[in-house]
Every structure is written in C-alpha cells, then in structure tokens.
Structure 1
C-alpha cells in the first residue's frame, strides 16, 4: 500500500519545496516535466536527490521523488 503524504510534506529539502507547491505547479501552472517543476518551484535544481531514486546519492533515501509525483499525476489524468 502506498504511503499518503500531506501537502505540507517537504519533497525538496535543499529548496524547502512542499508537495502542495509541486502539485500546484503541475495542476495550475502546467508543469508537466521535471524541468518545468524546477522552473516553477526550484525543486530538483540543487543537488537533485529529490528528482529520482537513481539520482539520490544520500545514505538515507528520500521518501518521495518528483518522478513519482509526475507519474502518479499522469496516471490519474
């Protein structure tokens, strides 16, 4: 079962970008790619660990990645 995340969950720790900000960028501002999410929110523009598990180089892995958010949103629409 997938974990449910609150809109205040911080997805990008470098830029302090929340899930709610990312969802707003996708739904209201047409950010339909990692690059566009970065342009609208700054998420994923620093170290890149929040982009995908493949780019996450930290010892403790992130709980939610931008790619997961985009994929889930695309499946729902």
Structure 2
C-alpha cells in the first residue's frame, strides 16, 4: 500500500493506521471519505491527514486518508 507498512499511523490525533482504513474499506464497505471518517474517526480532529491540500501542519504527512481510500477502491 503506497510503500507503507499497515501499522503506519495515518491519523495521529485518533491513532488510525493504514490497517484500520483497509479494514473499514474491505470489511465495513466504506466507499467515501465521509464514510471513512464516520467509521474510523480519522481526519475528524485537526483534519491534516485527509488530503495534502488541507495539511497545514509544520511537519507534512507522508500519506493521506484520501490517497489510501482511492488506492483501495482501485482493487
């Protein structure tokens, strides 16, 4: 998955990992970013992990929820 381990923490505020997002998409039928936020709570606090354009943190994320969701939807 985009060269990251499943344990990589995408959302530091809510401690959501790539594996959590994979589980939501594969086992809970999550298809949209909104559903992903509702299911995992990723991106519901500071919101920097949702997509690159919204990352206003001093240290930029390496991968974003939207990227992961789009990659999983291709499969």
TM-score normalized by the length of structure 1 = 0.89
Distance in 2 between residues matched to 1:36 and 1:3, nearest whole Å: 21
Distance in 2 between residues matched to 1:39 and 1:3, nearest whole Å: 23
Instruction: State the structure with bigger RCO (CA 8 A, min sep 6), 1 or 2.
Output: 2
Q: How many pairs were matched up?
A: 75
State whether structure 2 residue 31 is matched by structure 1 residue 28: no
CA distances 1:20-52 after superposition (whole Å, capped 9, x unpaired): 011100110011111111111110111110000
Gaps (5+ residues) in structure 2? none
Distance in 1 between residues matched to 2:28 and 2:50, nearest whole Å: 19
TM-score normalized by the length of structure 2 = 0.91
Give the match's secondary structure for 1:11. Answer: strand
Q: Which residue of 2 aligns with 1:57?
A: 56
Contact 1:44 / 1:51 at 8 angstroms: preserved in 2? Answer: yes
- Over the aligned positions, Cα root-mean-square deviation in angstroms equals 1.4
Q: Which residue of 1 aligns with 2:17?
A: 18
Gaps (5+ residues) in structure 1? none
TM superposition outliers: structure 1 runs of 4+ over 4 Å: none
